[in-house]
Amino acid sequence: MQHCKIKDQDYAYSDETSWPVNGEQWYLWLLVTTKFVFITIQNSRARKVLIEIFGEDYRGGIISDCFRVYDDFAKWYQKCWVHLMRKAKFEAEKFPRKNIIKLYEQLKNLYEEMKDFLKENPSKEKRIEKKKEFEKKLNEIINYKHWCKEAQSIVDNWLIKYRNHWLTAIEFEGIDLNNNLCERKIRGSIGWRKMLGGHRTREGAKQYAIIQTHRQTWKHQGKYPYNELLNVLRN
């Protein structure tokens, strides 16, 4: 099964979304690695799902939002800058007269600067050097003493709480500063959720997850899902 292979991967992007099963609130979990996509539909959004997929001693990394179920589970993390900025922008629009607008602008500028740096395909040495520079800029944002309470809430509950998880992609080659890869793939399932209204049976949800795992893995590997499915049926 795919989740057996995911345990051995160096890292995984992870996201989850609600998925009704027989009128109850279940969740579709979607994980993406370099080679695989894995989907499972569970009646839980708790850590036990991660343990079932990765085991209790996962030594790789997870790229995700700041949902607390991921805390202290993996060896390393990259938290999603897009989620962070979305939150800051929402609060800035809600309180336009407060300096949370300044916080949003500073975070956005830092994110764009880091993205531009990564586009250069920098060397390991350059990454380590540049990470120190970005850490300094992030610390200046964190240590600013005059944030309004809305801005300070984001600083405390996002930037400080996950302080060591915002710049991993600067040092580690091959991963992103955001979880967009996972979000794009999970969006494909949300369309089905809206059309189907979820599933009426657990078995239906299970079979859907198996089929979608294979289809999305084939697409992720640059293959044609229709042709691959035909080959499976023929064999």
Domains in the chain: boundaries: 2-76+179-234, 81-164
What would the pLDDT profile of 129-183 be if each residue is shown by its tens digit? 999 999 999 999 999 999 999 999 999 999 999 999 999 999 999 999 999 999 9
pLDDT over 90 at 116, yes or no: yes
Q: How far apart are CA 147 and CA 159, in angstroms?
A: 13
Model's pTM, two decimal places?
A: 0.92
Question: How many percent of the chain have pLDDT more than 70?
Answer: 98
pLDDT over 70 at 49, yes or no: yes
Q: Cα 47 from chain centroid?
A: 15
CB contact at 8 A, 179 and 65: yes
120-141 in b/e burial notation, b at 16+ Cβ within 10 A? eeeeeeebeebbeebeeebeeb
Q: In this predicted structure, what is the pLDDT of residue 3?
A: 56
More confident residue, 154 or 226: 154
Q: How far apart are CA 16 and CA 166, in angstroms?
A: 20
Q: In this predicted structure, what is the pLDDT of residue 11?
A: 95
pLDDT over 80 at 29, yes or no: yes
Q: How far apart are CA 125 and CA 173, in angstroms?
A: 12
Q: How far apart are CA 123 and CA 30, in angstroms?
A: 31
At 2, the pLDDT band (50, 70, 90 cuts) reads low
- In terms of Cα–Cα distance, which of 103, 114, 90 is closest to 148? 103
What would the pLDDT profile of 79-93 be if each residue is shown by its tens digit? 999 999 999 999 999
Q: In this predicted structure, what is the pLDDT of residue 7?
A: 81
Which overall architecture, per CATH, does domain 2-76+179-234 show? 2-Layer Sandwich (3.30)
- The stretch 18-36 carries a mean pLDDT of 94
